[in-house]
Amino acid sequence: DSTFVEAVVLRVAGFEAEQIEPGHSYSGKGFPFLTTDAIDFLCKDLGMKHLLINLPSVDREDDDGALLNHRAVFRFPAGTEAPDIESLRAGNGKLPLFTVTEHCAIPQSAAE
């Protein structure tokens, strides 16, 4: 059975906001990202709706635009077109609410 988790906050060491210079670019730097297994665990096993993370992206920088981890959070299967807003509203008139917030300033003092 899936446990329901509304939101998950992940802070990765080395990406603390107070250590990052304003305007710093991560492009071409090979920053860390989440594995698809990690995202599947959060979304499928825990039922997570919202992900807040201090990394520049949950996906690899060089994934040819696949954005597999973003698609998993938003429940868009890989290899399919993301539905338009009207398609998402079909049925109950409301958009599903899943979010990814990247490059968050998560203080080291945040509870674990």
Q: What angle do CA 69, 31, 58 make, to 5 degrees?
A: 15
88 touches 96 (CB < 8 A): yes
pLDDT tens by residue, 37-50: 999 999 999 999 99
pLDDT of residue 21: 67
Q: Exposed, middle or buried: residue 46 (CB in 10 Å: 0-12, 13-18, 19+)?
A: middle
Three-state DSSP state, 69 = helix
pLDDT of residue 66: 86
What residues contact residue 104 under an 8 Å CB cut-off, 6+ apart?
A: 9, 17, 52, 53, 54
State how far the Cα of 24 lies from the Cα of 3, in Å rounded to an integer.
Answer: 37
Mean pLDDT throughout 85-92? 64
What residues contact residue 4 under an 8 Å CB cut-off, 6+ apart?
A: 46, 47
pLDDT of residue 85: 67
